[in-house]
Structure 1
Amino acid sequence: MAESIYLPENASKVEKYEVILPQIEALVSGEEDLVANLANISAVLKEAFGFFWVGFYLVKGEQLVLGPFQGPIACTRIAKGKGVCGAAWAEGKTQLVPDVEAFPGHIACSSASKSEIVLPAFKEGHVALVLDIDSDQLNDFDQSDAEKLEKLMMIVEQCL
Protein backbone atom coordinates (compact mmCIF):
# COMPACT_ATOMS: atom_id res chain seq x y z
CA MET A 1 0.00 0.00 0.00
CA ALA A 2 1.17 3.51 -0.82
CA GLU A 3 1.99 5.79 2.09
CA SER A 4 1.56 8.97 0.06
CA ILE A 5 0.12 10.21 -3.21
CA TYR A 6 2.17 12.01 -5.84
CA LEU A 7 0.51 15.24 -6.98
CA PRO A 8 2.25 17.23 -9.71
CA GLU A 9 2.55 20.96 -9.12
CA ASN A 10 0.79 23.32 -11.52
CA ALA A 11 -1.12 20.49 -13.19
CA SER A 12 -4.49 21.03 -14.80
CA LYS A 13 -7.56 19.42 -13.27
CA VAL A 14 -7.61 16.72 -15.96
CA GLU A 15 -3.89 16.04 -15.48
CA LYS A 16 -4.44 15.63 -11.74
CA TYR A 17 -7.18 13.07 -12.37
CA GLU A 18 -4.93 11.18 -14.78
CA VAL A 19 -2.15 11.07 -12.18
CA ILE A 20 -4.27 10.12 -9.16
CA LEU A 21 -6.59 7.50 -10.68
CA PRO A 22 -3.90 4.82 -11.10
CA GLN A 23 -2.55 5.71 -7.65
CA ILE A 24 -6.00 5.26 -6.12
CA GLU A 25 -6.34 1.92 -7.89
CA ALA A 26 -3.00 0.82 -6.43
CA LEU A 27 -3.97 2.17 -3.00
CA VAL A 28 -7.17 0.09 -2.78
CA SER A 29 -5.95 -3.05 -4.52
CA GLY A 30 -5.39 -5.82 -2.04
CA GLU A 31 -7.32 -4.04 0.71
CA GLU A 32 -10.61 -5.78 1.43
CA ASP A 33 -12.08 -3.30 3.92
CA LEU A 34 -14.56 -1.03 2.13
CA VAL A 35 -14.55 1.68 4.82
CA ALA A 36 -10.75 1.92 4.72
CA ASN A 37 -10.78 2.20 0.93
CA LEU A 38 -13.53 4.84 0.87
CA ALA A 39 -11.75 6.82 3.57
CA ASN A 40 -8.51 6.85 1.61
CA ILE A 41 -10.27 7.76 -1.64
CA SER A 42 -11.98 10.69 0.12
CA ALA A 43 -8.65 11.86 1.48
CA VAL A 44 -6.93 11.65 -1.91
CA LEU A 45 -9.67 13.66 -3.63
CA LYS A 46 -9.68 16.30 -0.88
CA GLU A 47 -5.89 16.60 -0.98
CA ALA A 48 -5.64 16.67 -4.77
CA PHE A 49 -8.40 19.17 -5.49
CA GLY A 50 -9.17 20.96 -2.23
CA PHE A 51 -12.88 20.24 -2.57
CA PHE A 52 -15.10 21.79 0.12
CA TRP A 53 -16.60 18.37 0.95
CA VAL A 54 -15.99 14.92 -0.47
CA GLY A 55 -17.37 11.64 0.77
CA PHE A 56 -19.58 8.65 0.36
CA TYR A 57 -23.13 7.73 1.26
CA LEU A 58 -23.91 4.01 1.43
CA VAL A 59 -27.27 2.49 0.57
CA LYS A 60 -28.72 0.91 3.71
CA GLY A 61 -32.31 -0.18 3.31
CA GLU A 62 -34.32 2.75 2.02
CA GLN A 63 -31.77 5.41 2.94
CA LEU A 64 -28.34 6.67 2.08
CA VAL A 65 -26.24 6.67 5.24
CA LEU A 66 -23.16 8.83 5.67
CA GLY A 67 -19.90 6.99 5.15
CA PRO A 68 -16.26 8.07 5.08
CA PHE A 69 -15.76 11.73 4.16
CA GLN A 70 -13.48 14.76 4.35
CA GLY A 71 -14.87 18.17 5.26
CA PRO A 72 -17.37 19.73 7.64
CA ILE A 73 -20.06 17.67 9.35
CA ALA A 74 -22.74 16.40 6.98
CA CYS A 75 -26.28 15.11 6.76
CA THR A 76 -26.36 11.61 8.22
CA ARG A 77 -29.29 10.10 6.30
CA ILE A 78 -30.85 10.92 2.93
CA ALA A 79 -34.01 9.37 1.50
CA LYS A 80 -34.10 7.90 -2.00
CA GLY A 81 -34.93 10.60 -4.52
CA LYS A 82 -34.26 13.46 -2.10
CA GLY A 83 -31.62 16.05 -2.89
CA VAL A 84 -28.76 15.56 -5.32
CA CYS A 85 -27.50 12.38 -3.61
CA GLY A 86 -30.96 10.83 -3.49
CA ALA A 87 -31.49 11.72 -7.17
CA ALA A 88 -28.21 10.01 -8.16
CA TRP A 89 -29.37 6.92 -6.27
CA ALA A 90 -32.91 6.92 -7.69
CA GLU A 91 -31.83 7.62 -11.28
CA GLY A 92 -28.63 5.58 -11.17
CA LYS A 93 -26.68 8.28 -12.98
CA THR A 94 -24.27 11.12 -12.38
CA GLN A 95 -25.77 14.38 -11.17
CA LEU A 96 -23.79 17.48 -12.20
CA VAL A 97 -25.25 20.55 -10.49
CA PRO A 98 -23.68 23.96 -11.26
CA ASP A 99 -25.87 25.80 -8.73
CA VAL A 100 -27.36 23.78 -5.87
CA GLU A 101 -29.90 26.53 -5.14
CA ALA A 102 -31.45 25.84 -8.57
CA PHE A 103 -31.75 22.08 -7.93
CA PRO A 104 -35.31 21.16 -6.93
CA GLY A 105 -35.36 19.65 -3.44
CA HIS A 106 -31.68 20.32 -2.73
CA ILE A 107 -30.72 19.35 0.82
CA ALA A 108 -28.49 22.04 2.31
CA CYS A 109 -26.17 20.17 4.66
CA SER A 110 -24.02 23.30 4.53
CA SER A 111 -25.00 26.75 3.28
CA ALA A 112 -21.43 27.13 2.00
CA SER A 113 -22.00 24.48 -0.69
CA LYS A 114 -22.64 26.13 -4.07
CA SER A 115 -22.15 23.38 -6.68
CA GLU A 116 -22.10 19.61 -6.50
CA ILE A 117 -21.42 16.40 -8.38
CA VAL A 118 -22.73 13.02 -7.23
CA LEU A 119 -21.93 9.67 -8.83
CA PRO A 120 -23.36 6.21 -8.15
CA ALA A 121 -21.45 2.93 -7.82
CA PHE A 122 -23.20 -0.34 -8.61
CA LYS A 123 -23.11 -3.83 -7.15
CA GLU A 124 -25.08 -6.60 -8.83
CA GLY A 125 -26.96 -4.04 -10.94
CA HIS A 126 -28.10 -1.87 -8.03
CA VAL A 127 -26.70 1.38 -6.65
CA ALA A 128 -24.66 0.44 -3.57
CA LEU A 129 -23.29 3.88 -2.71
CA VAL A 130 -22.77 7.36 -4.06
CA LEU A 131 -19.75 9.66 -4.12
CA ASP A 132 -20.76 13.21 -3.22
CA ILE A 133 -18.45 16.15 -3.89
CA ASP A 134 -19.38 19.73 -2.99
CA SER A 135 -17.68 22.98 -3.90
CA ASP A 136 -18.02 26.37 -2.26
CA GLN A 137 -17.85 27.87 -5.77
CA LEU A 138 -20.65 28.05 -8.33
CA ASN A 139 -20.24 25.98 -11.50
CA ASP A 140 -17.06 24.32 -10.22
CA PHE A 141 -17.65 20.94 -11.91
CA ASP A 142 -17.83 20.13 -15.60
CA GLN A 143 -18.01 17.19 -17.96
CA SER A 144 -14.30 16.41 -17.45
CA ASP A 145 -14.99 15.91 -13.72
CA ALA A 146 -17.92 13.64 -14.57
CA GLU A 147 -15.87 11.54 -17.00
CA LYS A 148 -12.85 11.13 -14.71
CA LEU A 149 -14.93 10.51 -11.59
CA GLU A 150 -16.98 7.89 -13.45
CA LYS A 151 -13.68 6.09 -14.07
CA LEU A 152 -12.98 6.38 -10.34
CA MET A 153 -16.37 4.82 -9.60
CA MET A 154 -15.37 1.78 -11.66
CA ILE A 155 -12.42 1.40 -9.26
CA VAL A 156 -14.80 1.82 -6.30
CA GLU A 157 -17.08 -0.89 -7.75
CA GLN A 158 -14.16 -3.33 -7.62
CA CYS A 159 -14.07 -2.73 -3.85
CA LEU A 160 -17.75 -3.64 -3.37
Structure 2
Amino acid sequence: MTGLDLGAEPLPVSSTAEERRQRYEDVQQAIQLVLQGESSWVAAMASVACLLHHAFGYFHWTLPRASLGRPPRLGAASAGCRLYNTSSSPGFYQAGPPGLDTLVIGPYQGHLGCLRIPYGRGVCGAAARSRRTQLVPDVSAFPGYIACASSTKSEIVVPMLEAGASAGPREAPEGGAAFLATAAAPAEEAPQGGTLLAVLDVDSDYPDAFTEVDLEHLERLCAWLGQQSYR
Protein backbone atom coordinates (compact mmCIF):
# COMPACT_ATOMS: atom_id res chain seq x y z
CA MET A 1 0.00 0.00 0.00
CA THR A 2 2.62 2.51 1.07
CA GLY A 3 6.35 2.70 1.59
CA LEU A 4 5.77 2.82 5.38
CA ASP A 5 5.96 -0.49 7.22
CA LEU A 6 3.66 0.07 10.21
CA GLY A 7 5.37 -2.83 11.95
CA ALA A 8 8.84 -1.29 11.60
CA GLU A 9 10.73 -0.10 14.65
CA PRO A 10 10.41 3.64 15.34
CA LEU A 11 13.38 5.57 13.96
CA PRO A 12 15.87 6.36 16.77
CA VAL A 13 17.24 9.79 17.59
CA SER A 14 20.65 8.59 16.37
CA SER A 15 19.32 8.14 12.81
CA THR A 16 21.07 9.85 9.92
CA ALA A 17 19.66 12.73 7.90
CA GLU A 18 18.97 10.39 4.99
CA GLU A 19 17.21 7.86 7.22
CA ARG A 20 15.00 10.61 8.62
CA ARG A 21 14.28 12.00 5.18
CA GLN A 22 13.23 8.60 3.86
CA ARG A 23 11.02 7.92 6.87
CA TYR A 24 9.25 11.27 6.48
CA GLU A 25 8.63 10.58 2.81
CA ASP A 26 7.13 7.20 3.70
CA VAL A 27 4.96 8.75 6.42
CA GLN A 28 3.74 11.52 4.11
CA GLN A 29 2.75 8.93 1.51
CA ALA A 30 0.92 6.88 4.14
CA ILE A 31 -0.91 9.95 5.48
CA GLN A 32 -2.12 10.98 2.05
CA LEU A 33 -3.34 7.46 1.33
CA VAL A 34 -5.09 7.00 4.68
CA LEU A 35 -6.81 10.40 4.50
CA GLN A 36 -8.13 10.06 0.94
CA GLY A 37 -11.77 11.15 1.01
CA GLU A 38 -11.69 12.09 4.70
CA SER A 39 -13.41 15.33 5.75
CA SER A 40 -13.27 15.18 9.56
CA TRP A 41 -10.69 17.37 11.32
CA VAL A 42 -10.52 15.02 14.32
CA ALA A 43 -10.12 11.89 12.19
CA ALA A 44 -7.39 13.51 10.08
CA MET A 45 -5.36 14.94 12.95
CA ALA A 46 -5.69 11.77 15.04
CA SER A 47 -4.46 9.69 12.09
CA VAL A 48 -1.51 12.01 11.48
CA ALA A 49 -0.54 11.91 15.14
CA CYS A 50 -0.79 8.11 15.18
CA LEU A 51 1.35 7.62 12.07
CA LEU A 52 4.02 10.01 13.34
CA HIS A 53 3.90 8.34 16.75
CA HIS A 54 4.73 4.94 15.31
CA ALA A 55 7.39 6.21 12.91
CA PHE A 56 9.79 8.17 15.14
CA GLY A 57 11.27 6.98 18.42
CA TYR A 58 12.33 10.45 19.54
CA PHE A 59 8.84 11.98 19.37
CA HIS A 60 7.91 11.61 23.03
CA TRP A 61 4.93 13.92 22.90
CA THR A 62 3.26 14.90 19.67
CA LEU A 63 0.19 17.07 19.46
CA PRO A 64 -1.67 19.29 17.06
CA ARG A 65 -2.94 22.35 18.97
CA ALA A 66 -5.77 24.38 17.50
CA SER A 67 -5.96 28.13 17.66
CA LEU A 68 -9.10 29.57 19.22
CA GLY A 69 -9.17 31.90 16.25
CA ARG A 70 -9.45 29.18 13.65
CA PRO A 71 -12.07 29.51 10.90
CA PRO A 72 -15.60 28.09 11.32
CA ARG A 73 -15.01 25.45 8.63
CA LEU A 74 -13.16 23.42 11.24
CA GLY A 75 -16.36 23.33 13.29
CA ALA A 76 -16.50 22.39 16.95
CA ALA A 77 -14.08 19.51 16.68
CA SER A 78 -11.46 21.14 18.87
CA ALA A 79 -12.10 18.70 21.71
CA GLY A 80 -9.70 15.81 21.57
CA CYS A 81 -6.39 14.45 22.63
CA ARG A 82 -2.75 15.29 22.64
CA LEU A 83 0.11 12.99 21.73
CA TYR A 84 2.66 12.09 24.35
CA ASN A 85 4.66 8.91 24.77
CA THR A 86 7.95 7.49 25.91
CA SER A 87 8.60 6.34 22.36
CA SER A 88 7.14 8.51 19.64
CA SER A 89 4.09 10.77 19.98
CA PRO A 90 2.84 13.78 17.94
CA GLY A 91 -0.21 16.00 18.44
CA PHE A 92 -2.07 19.18 17.50
CA TYR A 93 -3.35 22.28 19.23
CA GLN A 94 -6.23 23.88 17.34
CA ALA A 95 -7.05 27.54 16.95
CA GLY A 96 -10.11 28.36 19.03
CA PRO A 97 -12.97 30.87 18.57
CA PRO A 98 -12.10 34.19 16.89
CA GLY A 99 -10.77 36.90 19.16
CA LEU A 100 -9.57 34.69 22.02
CA ASP A 101 -6.03 34.14 20.70
CA THR A 102 -5.79 30.83 22.52
CA LEU A 103 -4.72 27.34 21.47
CA VAL A 104 -6.90 24.39 22.49
CA ILE A 105 -5.58 20.86 22.84
CA GLY A 106 -6.45 18.57 19.95
CA PRO A 107 -5.83 14.92 18.97
CA TYR A 108 -2.82 13.35 20.72
CA GLN A 109 -1.53 10.23 22.46
CA GLY A 110 0.19 10.08 25.84
CA HIS A 111 0.04 11.77 29.22
CA LEU A 112 -2.11 14.78 29.97
CA GLY A 113 -0.99 18.06 28.40
CA CYS A 114 -1.90 21.71 28.84
CA LEU A 115 -5.52 22.13 27.74
CA ARG A 116 -5.26 25.76 26.61
CA ILE A 117 -2.28 27.97 25.80
CA PRO A 118 -2.55 31.73 25.14
CA TYR A 119 -0.73 33.07 22.10
CA GLY A 120 2.74 34.21 23.09
CA ARG A 121 3.14 31.81 26.02
CA GLY A 122 5.71 29.06 25.76
CA VAL A 123 6.88 27.42 22.56
CA CYS A 124 3.39 26.70 21.20
CA GLY A 125 2.22 30.23 21.95
CA ALA A 126 5.29 31.70 20.25
CA ALA A 127 4.60 29.65 17.11
CA ALA A 128 0.94 30.72 17.14
CA ARG A 129 1.68 34.41 17.56
CA SER A 130 4.53 34.61 15.05
CA ARG A 131 3.26 31.99 12.56
CA ARG A 132 6.86 30.75 12.54
CA THR A 133 8.24 27.31 13.29
CA GLN A 134 9.92 27.11 16.69
CA LEU A 135 12.85 24.68 16.83
CA VAL A 136 14.09 24.53 20.42
CA PRO A 137 17.15 22.36 21.14
CA ASP A 138 17.03 23.14 24.89
CA VAL A 139 13.63 24.01 26.36
CA SER A 140 15.20 25.21 29.62
CA ALA A 141 16.69 28.15 27.69
CA PHE A 142 13.37 29.23 26.15
CA PRO A 143 11.84 32.34 27.78
CA GLY A 144 8.51 31.59 29.45
CA TYR A 145 8.71 27.88 28.69
CA ILE A 146 5.63 25.94 29.85
CA ALA A 147 6.71 22.62 31.35
CA CYS A 148 3.85 20.20 30.68
CA ALA A 149 6.27 17.32 31.30
CA SER A 150 9.45 17.52 33.37
CA SER A 151 11.14 14.96 31.10
CA THR A 152 10.97 17.16 27.98
CA LYS A 153 14.38 18.40 26.79
CA SER A 154 13.71 19.69 23.26
CA GLU A 155 10.69 20.67 21.19
CA ILE A 156 9.55 21.65 17.72
CA VAL A 157 6.25 23.43 17.00
CA VAL A 158 5.06 24.03 13.43
CA PRO A 159 2.15 26.38 12.58
CA MET A 160 -0.54 25.07 10.22
CA LEU A 161 -1.95 27.92 8.13
CA GLU A 162 -5.00 28.07 5.89
CA ALA A 163 -4.43 27.24 2.21
CA GLY A 164 -2.64 30.00 0.34
CA ALA A 165 -0.41 30.97 3.26
CA SER A 166 2.76 29.41 4.56
CA ALA A 167 4.85 29.75 7.67
CA GLY A 168 7.06 32.79 7.40
CA PRO A 169 10.75 32.57 6.59
CA ARG A 170 12.89 31.80 9.62
CA GLU A 171 15.80 34.00 10.45
CA ALA A 172 18.98 31.99 10.50
CA PRO A 173 21.06 32.44 13.64
CA GLU A 174 24.80 32.59 13.23
CA GLY A 175 26.15 29.12 12.59
CA GLY A 176 22.84 27.50 11.72
CA ALA A 177 20.40 27.33 8.82
CA ALA A 178 17.24 26.64 10.83
CA PHE A 179 15.53 29.17 13.01
CA LEU A 180 16.34 28.27 16.60
CA ALA A 181 14.06 29.73 19.24
CA THR A 182 16.41 30.37 22.14
CA ALA A 183 16.66 32.74 25.06
CA ALA A 184 18.46 35.16 22.78
CA ALA A 185 15.95 34.89 19.95
CA PRO A 186 12.39 33.89 20.81
CA ALA A 187 10.61 34.11 17.45
CA GLU A 188 7.58 36.15 18.53
CA GLU A 189 8.15 39.67 17.31
CA ALA A 190 7.45 39.41 13.58
CA PRO A 191 4.07 37.77 12.86
CA GLN A 192 3.59 36.33 9.39
CA GLY A 193 0.37 36.50 7.37
CA GLY A 194 -2.20 33.74 7.07
CA THR A 195 -5.06 32.38 9.17
CA LEU A 196 -3.80 30.00 11.82
CA LEU A 197 -5.64 26.66 11.90
CA ALA A 198 -3.50 24.79 14.42
CA VAL A 199 0.05 24.04 15.50
CA LEU A 200 1.77 20.67 15.44
CA ASP A 201 3.66 20.20 18.71
CA VAL A 202 6.36 17.56 19.15
CA ASP A 203 8.32 17.16 22.40
CA SER A 204 11.32 14.91 22.97
CA ASP A 205 12.96 13.61 26.12
CA TYR A 206 16.28 13.89 24.25
CA PRO A 207 18.17 17.21 24.10
CA ASP A 208 18.62 18.67 20.60
CA ALA A 209 16.55 15.84 19.10
CA PHE A 210 15.25 17.70 16.04
CA THR A 211 17.21 18.68 12.96
CA GLU A 212 16.71 20.70 9.79
CA VAL A 213 15.32 17.52 8.21
CA ASP A 214 12.56 17.28 10.83
CA LEU A 215 11.79 20.97 10.42
CA GLU A 216 11.61 20.79 6.63
CA HIS A 217 9.34 17.76 6.48
CA LEU A 218 7.03 18.74 9.34
CA GLU A 219 6.55 22.14 7.69
CA ARG A 220 5.79 20.39 4.41
CA LEU A 221 3.25 18.15 6.15
CA CYS A 222 1.52 21.08 7.87
CA ALA A 223 1.40 23.03 4.60
CA TRP A 224 -0.32 20.06 2.94
CA LEU A 225 -2.80 19.68 5.81
CA GLY A 226 -3.63 23.38 5.57
CA GLN A 227 -4.71 22.86 1.96
CA GLN A 228 -7.31 20.23 2.89
CA SER A 229 -10.99 20.93 3.64
CA TYR A 230 -11.41 19.25 7.01
CA ARG A 231 -14.40 20.26 9.15
Question: TM-score under structure 1 normalisation?
Answer: 0.92
Extract structure 1 runs of 4+ deviating beyond 4 A: 7-11
Aligned-pair CA distance for 1:155:
2.1
The residue number in structure 2 matching 1:26 is 33
Q: Which residue of 2 aligns with 1:6?
A: 5
* Rounded Cα–Cα distance in structure 2 between residues aligned with 1:123 and 1:13: 27
Aligned residue for 2:92, secondary structure, equals: strand
Gaps of 5+ in 1: none
Structure having the larger proportion of residues in strand:
1
Answering whether residue 23 of structure 2 is matched by residue 16 of structure 1, we say yes
* Contact 1:25/1:155, CA 8 A, preserved across alignment: no
Offset at residue 6 of structure 1 (A):
2.2
Which secondary structure state, in structure 2, belongs to the residue aligned with residue 70 of structure 1?
coil
CA distance in 1, matches of 2:224, 2:36: 9
CA displacement, residues 38-81 of structure 1 (integer Å, 9 cap, x when unaligned): 00100001100031111100010321000001221100000001
Q: Percent identity?
A: 45
1:104-143 aligned within 5 A: 104-123=143-162, 125-143=194-212
Does 20-29 or 144-153 show the bigger shift? Answer: 20-29
C-alpha contact 1:80 1:89 (8 A) present in aligned 2:
yes
Distance apart, 1:138 and its partner CA: 0.2
Any unmatched runs of 5+ in structure 2? 63-90, 164-193
Q: TM-score, normalised by structure 2?
A: 0.65
Q: When the two structures are aligned, how many residues end up with a matched partner? A: 159
What displacement does 1:14 show?
A: 1.6
Q: What is the RMSD computed on CA atoms of the aligned residues?
A: 2.1
Contact 1:78-1:85 at 8 Å conserved across structures: yes
Larger Rg: 2
Q: Which has the higher helix share?
A: 1
Matching of residue 37 in structure 1 with residue 36 in structure 2 = no
* Amino acid corresponding to residue 36 of structure 1 in structure 2: A
Provide the C-alpha distance between the structure 2 equivalents of 1:150 and 1:131, rounded to a whole number of angstroms: 9
